[in-house]
Amino acid sequence: MKVYRTTSIALRALRRNPMRATLTTLGIIIGIAAVIVMMEIGNGATAAVQKSIASMGSNMIMIQPGTAASGGVSFGAGSVVTLTPQDCDAVIQQCPDVHAAAPAVTARTQVVYGNKNWVPFFVVGSTPDYLKIRNWTELAQGNMFTDRDVRNANKVCVIGQTLARELFEGASPVGKEIRIKNVSFKVVGVLSLKGANMMGMDQDDIIVAPWTAIKYRVSGTSLGNVNQSSASSTSSTVNSLKNLYPSAQLSLYPTQSETQAADTPQPIRFANVDVILAMSDSTENIPAAVKQINTLLRERHHLRPEEPDDFSVRDMTEMIKTFTTATSLMTNLLLAVALISLIVGGVGIMNIMLVSVTERTREIGLRMSVGARARDILRQFLVEAVVLCLIGGALGITIGHGGAVLVRYFKHWPVQTSPAAIVAAVLVSVSVGIIFGFYPAWKASRLDPIEALRYE
């Protein structure tokens, strides 16, 4: 009741000078409108950037084998073979926050078609889920190979745009046979263009084939051969199909003697993979997924609590953080500019309220003489300022939102309505009203009624 009455008095007082009230509010209108536009465009930009990060596979989690050490010499991450395809299956089945997972083996070798040859940067053996995890499900031509191809170690592959260009020079690669390290693979699909990755590497310089085919027919061991002790045994025993064509390989290291091999037994599994790629449902679930994977793999690898992990789990948190920081920095910068204009608007309000207090000195004296207490006067002028700011805020929100809609319509920028910004705008305009209205109101309330009545 009391609030209603004070507000109606304030509105009546403002209506006495509508032009001035409008011009005063303009500062707040512009300020709030700027804040709203900035927030909506900023939010849109953040969402767009997040989407493009997601397309790089930001929800990706990489599980790599741990380090091998031989006689005090460590060989670095991935130099020991601890991850198996069974680990991957277990991760899919037992980690609720893992959306998909795919084992991957890598190789670096020559690819030949006709009289062309090329060494792709990535020769990846994996499952069809690999593309899902990489957020790369669109194919330019043909289809991805299937799970059945993986089971049968079929000699099929899909190739990236760079490789297609280098080997086929515009002709359709689908259905053609290419040779990877002298093993013939049929191209079943061409991946869509992806461009460079975070490190500037060409992601289209890739060939993806079933991991079984790459492992057993092409590479044998990839990283495993860094580990000298296991190199000879894996490559010679498992890879029986590799030597379809005689190709002499230079051995860089002296071969192990029988005694040496017996002295350093290396637990060789039937099959191991170089890396397991997993993906969580959303960016927020990554930490939970990482934790689940850690627990599961420690259990599967029979590690005692005091033993270090024989694998390492990595995610893209750092990358996401960088991008989020960059966009939020930009948004905050724009917001700061908008806030400055709000402060300017507030100073405008204070200025006009001071003028108004001087102009209405006699009115203040009169109100005091009919029984208004100092605090009634203070409240009246404060409410006037707040009402001005609130009206300005409401108009500013409308104009700002309209502006954002226009920007989306004409410039096709990504824009996102932000309820938080609207709430903040209302709160800010009220507090601007209180902060900048207080001094004039306080000044009015301190007037001496006798002098105020006599003021000319």
Partner 1 sequence: MPFLELRDIYKTYYLGDIDVPVLKGVSMSVSQGELVALMGASGSGKSTLMNILGCLDRPTSGQYLLEGQEISRLSPDQRAMLRNRRIGFVFQSFNLLPRTSALDNVAMPLSYNPEHLPERQAKQKAEEMLGLLGLSDRMSYEPSKLSGGQQQRVAIARALINKPALLLADEPTGNLDSHTSEEILRLFGQLNQTQHITIIIVTHDANIARHAKKIIHISDGVIDGEVKPESVSASPGDAK
* Cα distance between residue 446 and residue 369, in whole Å: 14
Q: How many helices (H) and strands (E) does the chain have?
A: 15, 14
Tell the smallest beta-carbon distance from residue 8 to partner 1 (Å): 7
Tell the smallest beta-carbon distance from residue 373 to partner 1 (Å): 4
Tell the smallest beta-carbon distance from residue 395 to partner 1 (Å): 23
The 14-43 site mask, x for binding partner 1 (CB under 8 A), equals: --xx--------------------------
Between 187 and 386, name the residue whose CB sits nearer to partner 1: 386
Give the CA-trace dihedral at 137, 138, 142, 145, to 10 degrees: -10
- Interface region with partner 1, contact rule CB under 8 A, candidates 183-191, 237-245, 367-375, 431-439: 367-375
Q: Which of 374, 399, 424, 426 binds partner 1 (CB under 8 A)?
A: 374
Tell the smallest beta-carbon distance from residue 392 to partner 1 (Å): 22
Q: Per rule CB under 8 A, is residue 453 in the interface with partner 1?
A: yes
Query: 313 and 293 in contact (C-beta within 8 Å)?
Result: yes
Query: H helices of 360-418, where?
Result: 361-369, 374-411
Between 365 and 396, name the residue whose CB sits nearer to partner 1: 365
Q: Which of residues 116-175 bind partner 1 (CB under 8 A)?
A: none
Between 6 and 233, name the residue whose CB sits nearer to partner 1: 6
Q: Which of 34, 218, 372, 387 binds partner 1 (CB under 8 A)?
A: 372
* Cα distance between residue 318 and residue 211, in whole Å: 29
Q: Per rule CB under 8 A, is residue 9 in the interface with partner 1?
A: yes
Q: How many CB atoms lie within 10 A of CB 247?
A: 9
* Cα distance between residue 293 and residue 94, in whole Å: 9
Q: Per rule CB under 8 A, is residue 370 in the interface with partner 1?
A: yes
- Interface region with partner 1, contact rule CB under 8 A, candidates 64-72, 199-207, 223-231, 364-372: 364-372
Q: What single-letter amino acid sits at 115?
A: N
Residue 15 parent element (H or E): helix 2-15
To 5 degrees, how large is the angle CA 348–CA 358–CA 362? 145
Q: Rounded to an integer, what is the distance from CA 353 to the centroid of its chain?
A: 47
* Cα distance between residue 174 and residue 199, in whole Å: 30
- The residue among 133, 142, 126, 114 whose CA lies nearest residue 207 is 126
Between 17 and 225, name the residue whose CB sits nearer to partner 1: 17
Exposed, middle or buried, 354 (CB in 10 Å: 0-12/13-18/19+)? Answer: middle
The DSSP-derived string for 41-80 is HHHHHHHHHHHHHHHTTTTEEEEEE-EEEETTEEEEET-S
The DSSP-derived string for 297-351 is HHHHTT--TTSPPSEEEEESHHHHHHHHHHHHHHHHHHHHHHHHHHHHHHHHHHH
Q: Per rule CB under 8 A, is residue 449 in the interface with partner 1?
A: yes
Q: Which of 368, 385, 428, 447 binds partner 1 (CB under 8 A)?
A: 368
Q: Per rule CB under 8 A, is residue 12 in the interface with partner 1?
A: yes
* Cα distance between residue 155 and residue 179, in whole Å: 10
Q: Per rule CB under 8 A, is residue 450 in the interface with partner 1?
A: yes
Between 1 and 248, name the residue whose CB sits nearer to partner 1: 1
Tell the smallest beta-carbon distance from residue 285 to partner 1 (Å): 57
Q: Per rule CB under 8 A, is residue 365 in the interface with partner 1?
A: yes
Q: Per rule CB under 8 A, is residue 376 in the interface with partner 1?
A: yes
Between 17 and 256, name the residue whose CB sits nearer to partner 1: 17
Structure tokens at 232: 């000879």
Q: Per rule CB under 8 A, is residue 1 in the interface with partner 1?
A: yes
Q: Per rule CB under 8 A, is residue 369 in the interface with partner 1?
A: yes
Q: Which of 134, 181, 367, 401 binds partner 1 (CB under 8 A)?
A: 367
Tell the smallest beta-carbon distance from residue 363 to partner 1 (Å): 6
- Interface region with partner 1, contact rule CB under 8 A, candidates 81-89, 292-300, 358-366, 410-418: 358-366
- Interface contacts to partner 1, rule CB under 8 A: 1-2, 5, 8-9, 12, 16-17, 362-363, 365-376, 449-450, 453
